[in-house]
Structure 1
Amino acid sequence: MRTHTIVNCRAGTALDLSPRDIEKKVAQAFRDGGHETRVECVEPEKLVGAISAAAQGDIDALIIGGGDGSVRSAAEHLIGTNKALGVLPLGTMNRFARDLNLPLEIDAALNTLAEGHSVPIDVAAVNGQIFLCNSMFGLPTGFAEQRQHLRGKAALERLQGYIRILRQMLASTRMISIAVDKDGERHRMRALSVVVTSNEYDEVPSLMLTKTAMDRGYLTLYAARHKNGAALSVAVVRAMLGLWKSDPEVEKISATEFTIRMPRRSVRLTNDGEVESFKAPLRYTIRPSSLRVLCPPPAYGT
């Protein structure tokens, strides 16, 4: 297998290692696995250019060391090709790596990637822009946006900021009126938070929502209709205990595509942890088995 690894030098976990240390670890793991490899560490502002150049090269797999935002950038270049995407989880949340059941420790992750096992998975998109983990708006987006402003701040300032954000979230009662168009029908509701993901989440105890399948070819929308942030926080705890499906205030809609309409021209979305503005209405679609990924055997799928 011919691999090219690109590491975001500013990714959270990578900050504990020098670029030279990272390059040596990656090169050794893939060479031990019998693969051809090239490794480079790049600054964030050069990441997209490096990914674009590597994706056009004569390779079998592109490995990205970074967070979910870096991984999504690579997926945009590899979707619809036979080149596989490998994830070296160096971010803060590493949601996509968790979905793929990859080890989060760097050496274990490298050993798994070097096994070279790949499978096709579905990729979701909103208004034509892909996302790998989920897309959400409402209360969590406000939290994510404020959290981004705290990056790089001193530890005490970050802690004070998180406490302030938490208080605001718990007290929030700001509902969003939406209409979901699906299969010729319109579903109207008011929600505190809306999350869309490819396929669906499991009802199992876990600190983070998990999936057992990523190739079933549909989307799922979860609308939280709780009256305030405090009630939503209780629902989050229930989800961690694997009890979210029994919550009467969580509405679930599954389809291969749907459109979300709302009384506003644009909306702030959190896609794979990154906050961006999108024009309304929001059209969500699924691209079945359109991206190959490296993951541990046994593979996902039916």
Structure 2
Amino acid sequence: MLKDYLPWIIAGLVVLALVVGGVVLTRVAPESAATLRRRPRPPRAHFRNGDDEMPAPVKRAGVVINPTKFADLPTVRARITGTCVANGWGEPLFYETTVEDPGQGQAAQAVRDGVDVVCTLGGDGTVRNVASALVGTETPLGILPAGTGNLLARNLDLPVALESAVAVALTGRNRRIDVGELVVGAVPAVDAPDDGDDVPETHHFLVMSGIGMDAQIMAGTNENLKAKVGWPAYMVSGLKHLVSPEFRIGVKVDDDLEFRRRARMVVIGNCGRLLGGLVLMPNARVDDGQLDAVIASPRGVVGWVPVATRVATRQRKGHPTLDHKVCKEIRVRTDRPVPVQIDGDVIGEASEVSARVRPGSLTVRVSIT
């Protein structure tokens, strides 16, 4: 008789087991889900490796100093160091220029030392030499004006006060600017024999280069007077050279035909602002991808009046004795050797110079606003 009901008993036990199991699961599952929802998420650092917890390296600036500009160099260094530390940077590395190396070698060493920005503390000549080592690289140039003219700093509207200039160099924005490349001397033809004589010299300029009277003014400026009164010393020298000798020139602009004329000076500029707020090339910009050239040929002292009027009124067009050319390249040949200056430094005499623009080849730190 039990055999007859055994299948039904087994089936009932299975059903009972399923019912009991379902009840248990319905009570445990919600509780487990709620527990999982309430469990806090591990902190982000829990998933990091030990290497990721290393602090970021401290940034460091390299400062190339022209020591002849300062009577108390240790104090200047301390001010720069204090500003760097106050802005969250490490102590800067300092490099001093020499007569043999006015900045290019020191800037290259700073880059090798791994600095984040290379700063110049000197005049436009120091800026030019340091920039020559940075052209074509991504390393930014910071300008700490300490010269008489500080023309590039003025054209970029950079602060002149030391602490403010350091702060801009550390925290400012990067701006790509053009660089002028000047070849002094005739460039030999491709098939010309190499006799080793009159090898052309290549220089970079950031502000202006020129031949003739403007180079004579730079060479004739009294250094003692410049130290006492600043940029007006150039004006004193300029008055002495108003009647400088004329010379004949042949000028070739880009692909145009060469033209000839008499001149007293030729200025090739990457930017247009001069000392004392004067503007020689009103439309010149440091990032327009071109050069501006001014050819001046006034006759006598009276002939400089329209030239001075044009500069004072910032007019691009003026008297016929003042030509203004905009170009990518320019070549100037003279009938005799004349003085040549680059960013205020007289480098000698030449009877031929060629200039071309290298667009956006230098990174400079400028103010954010």
TM-score band w.r.t. shorter chain: 0.7 to 0.9
Normalised by the length of structure 1, the TM-score is 0.83
- CA contact under 8 A between 1:29 and 1:114: conserved in structure 2? no
Among 98, 104, 108, the residue aligned to 2:154 = 98
Among 62, 67, 91, the residue aligned to 1:4 = 62
Kindly provide the amino acid, as one letter, of the partner of residue 86 in structure 2.
D
Gap change, CA 1:86 and 1:241, over 3 Å in 2: same
Structure 1 match to 2:123? 67
- CA contact under 8 A between 1:220 and 1:252: conserved in structure 2? yes
Structure 1 match to 2:73? 19
Shift of 1:211: 6.6
Shift of 1:255: 1.2
| Rounded Cα–Cα distance in structure 1 between residues aligned with 2:224 and 2:272 | 32
- CA contact under 8 A between 2:218 and 2:234: conserved in structure 1? no
Structure 2 match to 1:31? 85
1:89 aligns with 2:155: no
What stretches of structure 2 of length at least 5 have no aligned partner? 1-58, 184-201
Q: CA RMSD in A?
A: 3.0
| Rounded Cα–Cα distance in structure 1 between residues aligned with 2:119 and 2:66 | 11
Gap change, CA 1:292 and 1:216, over 3 Å in 2: same
| Higher relative contact order, chain-length normalized (CA < 8 Å, sep 6+) | 1
The structure that has the greater radius of gyration is: 2
Structure 1 match to 2:25? none
Shift of 1:109: 1.7
Gap change, CA 1:70 and 1:165, over 3 Å in 2: closer
| Rounded Cα–Cα distance in structure 2 between residues aligned with 1:163 and 1:87 | 25
Among 289, 294, 297, the residue aligned to 1:225 = 297
Kindly provide the amino acid, as one letter, of the partner of residue 130 in structure 1.
H
Runs of 4+ in 1 over 4 A off after TM superposition: 152-156, 161-167, 208-212
- CA contact under 8 A between 1:122 and 1:288: conserved in structure 2? yes
Gap change, CA 1:202 and 1:73, over 3 Å in 2: closer
| Rounded Cα–Cα distance in structure 2 between residues aligned with 1:155 and 1:82 | 35
1:285 aligns with 2:356: yes
Kindly provide the amino acid, as one letter, of the partner of residue 157 in structure 2.
N
Kindly provide the amino acid, as one letter, of the partner of residue 321 in structure 2.
E
| Rounded Cα–Cα distance in structure 2 between residues aligned with 1:61 and 1:102 | 16
Structure 2 match to 1:112? 168
Structure 1 match to 2:106? 50
| Rounded Cα–Cα distance in structure 1 between residues aligned with 2:279 and 2:122 | 19
Shift of 1:268: 1.6
Gap change, CA 1:162 and 1:154, over 3 Å in 2: closer
Between the aligned residues of both structures, percent identity stands at: 24
Say which is worse superposed, 250-259 or 29-38, in terms of deviation: 29-38
Structure 2 match to 1:274? 345
| Rounded Cα–Cα distance in structure 1 between residues aligned with 2:97 and 2:353 | 33
Describe how 1:167-186 pairs up with structure 2 within 5 A. Answer: 168-170=240-242, 172=243, 174-182=245-253, 183-186=255-258
- CA contact under 8 A between 2:143 and 2:365: conserved in structure 1? yes
- CA contact under 8 A between 2:266 and 2:295: conserved in structure 1? yes
Among 242, 262, 265, the residue aligned to 2:314 = 242
- CA contact under 8 A between 1:23 and 1:39: conserved in structure 2? no
Aligned length in residues: 285
Structure 2 match to 1:145? 219
Comparing both structures, which one devotes a greater share of its residues to strand?
A: 1
